């Protein structure tokens, strides 16, 4: 396995083999990116400046058949927290990187024009990406697939990343081909935008498996673990993370009305069970894996009444931060909020928290899903003053509105549950 260094100032690409003597030999994913950030990045540097580095790292077992091991870890100094940040996503690309023999990509310095990084069997190169400028992730992925083939893996940023918004994500295409999996937290899409990398395109490698010392022995351990994991997660596989909605509301831990309340009287409208019914009745999909080797398969694919794709996957955090937290009790609206967050490349958690503060301060009516969608699709997409207000996180809007109630820690929106629970 090797690390690939991409210097965007000199346009040079180099690689280092990870040997048993290397500092990184037993490090992958968060451990690998955090060590590089800790050792190589000046602590006081501007997270959106040339001294920060963006690291896309695989886990130690990525590329093997070990269950749930093919996820992507993105790391950098965060423009939201100013600390060491890791954000994790599913998608197809981590496995493809591993099969190219790559454990990590390290972007250094900044480019002076928008670029693609292309990873092919024979070479890794930078290409001009000015003609993709401003595209949302859906259109971008569609164009990249037309040019490079349907089987490619993609990491990309939407307009929010290009505009250096501090809630911006790094998107990854899922196994169905949609740009639905996001390394969303901490504004790492803005770091990718500051480096002017619009997308990383990974062409399918020729080898379908990475060589292993003793695959038979490895499977003797991994197969029983995979079976146990799948068997013990049956309910979770059926309902996915949205199954937490009702439980958290009943237990008193559900973020509701900008965290003023911890349960929601309209929870039945937006529960995991209601989503399950809607997906099944419309011909959507359940029990999907979002990355290769996943045996739990907790993801869903939500379609409209005509069976057309809206989003995949609608998850608990998106539903509570944009649902109960904003008093929006309509699953279809939540699916569209998720869709537009994915398209412009904004963290659904940070965005739900931001809109919650705005509603609490009279900027938007409680429950106004149309406005929440319009801000994403019009204001953030076009980098308007309103877009900047809503695309830079909960702390930013709290300061702009002089708000008294801002749910954040170190500049980043809370996730999952109310603090008291």
Give the residues lining the site for ligand SF4 (CB under 6 A).
Answer: 68, 90, 289-291, 294, 296-299
Cβ distance to ligand SF4 smaller for residue 74 or 106: 74
Beta carbon of residue 298, minimum distance to ligand SF4 (angstroms, whole number): 3
Strand order in 181-183's β-sheet? 124-128, 115-119, 197-202, 153-156, 170-172, 181-183
Alpha-carbon distances, residue 59 vs 4, 104, 121 (angstroms): 15, 9, 21
Long-range contacts of 83-86 (CB under 8 A, 24+ apart): 83/410, 84/34, 84/37, 84/38, 85/185, 85/186, 85/187, 85/188, 86/29, 86/30, 86/33, 86/34, 86/186
The DSSP 8-state label assigned to residue 11 in this structure reads T
Secondary structure of residue 132 in the 3-state scheme: helix
Beta carbon of residue 233, minimum distance to ligand SF4 (angstroms, whole number): 8
Beta carbon of residue 88, minimum distance to ligand SF4 (angstroms, whole number): 9
Cβ distance to ligand SF4 smaller for residue 257 or 287: 287
Long-range contacts of 282-286 (CB under 8 A, 24+ apart): 282/307, 283/307, 285/176, 285/312, 286/238, 286/240
Task: Please report which helix (H) or strand (E) contains residue 388, including its range.
Answer: helix 385-391
Cβ distance to ligand SF4 smaller for residue 165 or 289: 289
List the structure tokens of 148: 């490079």
Secondary structure of residue 171 in the 3-state scheme: strand
Alpha-carbon distances, residue 275 vs 242, 249, 331 (angstroms): 8, 16, 7
Q: Is 32 left (phi over 0), alpha (psi -120 to 50) or beta?
A: alpha
Beta carbon of residue 100, minimum distance to ligand SF4 (angstroms, whole number): 21
Cβ distance to ligand SF4 smaller for residue 59 or 367: 59
Beta carbon of residue 70, minimum distance to ligand SF4 (angstroms, whole number): 8
Instruction: Give the DSSP per-residue string, 319-376.
Output: HHHHTGGGT---HHHHHHHHHHHHHHTB-HHHHHHHHHHHHHTTSS-TT-HHHHHHII
Beta carbon of residue 413, minimum distance to ligand SF4 (angstroms, whole number): 20
Beta carbon of residue 38, minimum distance to ligand SF4 (angstroms, whole number): 27
Cβ distance to ligand SF4 smaller for residue 270 or 290: 290
Beta carbon of residue 315, minimum distance to ligand SF4 (angstroms, whole number): 8
Beta carbon of residue 14, minimum distance to ligand SF4 (angstroms, whole number): 32
Tell me: cis bond preceding 248? Omega within 30 of 0 counts.
no
Cβ distance to ligand SF4 smaller for residue 262 or 299: 299
Q: How far apart are CA 65 and CA 223, in angstroms?
A: 9
Cβ distance to ligand SF4 smaller for residue 18 or 298: 298
Q: What is the dihedral of CA 218, 223, 228, 230, to 10 degrees?
A: 120
Cβ distance to ligand SF4 smaller for residue 299 or 354: 299
Cβ distance to ligand SF4 smaller for residue 267 or 290: 290
């Amino acid at each position: 396995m090797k690390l690939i260094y991409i210097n965007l100032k000199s346009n040079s690409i180099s690689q280092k083999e990870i040997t048993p003597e290397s500092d990184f030999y037993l490090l992958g994913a968060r451990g690998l990116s955090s060590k590089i950030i800790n050792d190589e990045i000046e602590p006081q540097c501007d997270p959106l400046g040339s001294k920060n580095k963006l690291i896309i790292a695989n886990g130690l077992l990525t590329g093997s058949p070990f269950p749930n091991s093919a996820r992507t870890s993105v790391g950098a100094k965060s423009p939201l927290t100013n600390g060491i940040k890791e954000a994790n996503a599913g998608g197809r690309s981590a496995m493809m990187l591993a099969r190219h023999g790559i454990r990590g990509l390290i972007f250094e310095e900044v480019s002076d024009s928008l670029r693609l990084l292309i990873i092919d069997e024979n070479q890794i190169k930078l290409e001009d990406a000015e003609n993709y400028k401003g595209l949302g992730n859906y259109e971008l992925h569609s164009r990249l697939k037309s040019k490079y083939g349907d089987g490619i893996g993609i990491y990309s940023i939407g307009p929010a990343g290009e505009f250096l918004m501090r809630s911006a994500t790094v998107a990854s295409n899922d196994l169905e081909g949609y740009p639905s999996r996001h390394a969303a937290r901490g504004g790492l899409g803005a770091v990718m935008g500051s480096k002017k990398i619009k997308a990383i395109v990974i062409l399918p490698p020729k080898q379908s498996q990475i060589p292993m010392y003793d695959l038979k022995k490895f499977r003797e351990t991994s197969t029983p673990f995979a079976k146990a994991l799948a068997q013990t997660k049956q309910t979770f596989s059926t309902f996915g993370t949205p199954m937490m909605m009702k439980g958290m509301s009943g237990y008193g831990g559900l973020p509701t009305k900008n965290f003023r309340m911890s349960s929601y009287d309209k929870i039945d409208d937006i529960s995991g069970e209601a989503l399950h019914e809607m997906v099944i009745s419309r011909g959507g999909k359940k029990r999907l894996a979002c990355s290769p080797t996943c045996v739990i398969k907790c993801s869903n694919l939500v379609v409209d009444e005509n069976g057309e794709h809206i989003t995949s996957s609608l998850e608990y955090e998106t539903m509570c931060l944009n649902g109960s937290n904003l008093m929006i009790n309509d699953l279809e609206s939540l699916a569209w909020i998720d869709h537009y967050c994915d398209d412009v490349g904004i963290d659904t958690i940070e965005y739900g928290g931001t809109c919650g503060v705005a509603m609490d301060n009279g900027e938007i009516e409680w429950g106004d899903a149309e406005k929440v969608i319009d801000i994403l699709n019009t204001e953030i997409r076009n980098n308007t003053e309103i877009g900047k207000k809503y695309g830079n996180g909960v702390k930013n809007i709290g300061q702009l509105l002089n708000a008294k109630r801002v749910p954040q820690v170190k500049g980043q929106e809370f996730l999952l549950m109310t603090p008291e629970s």
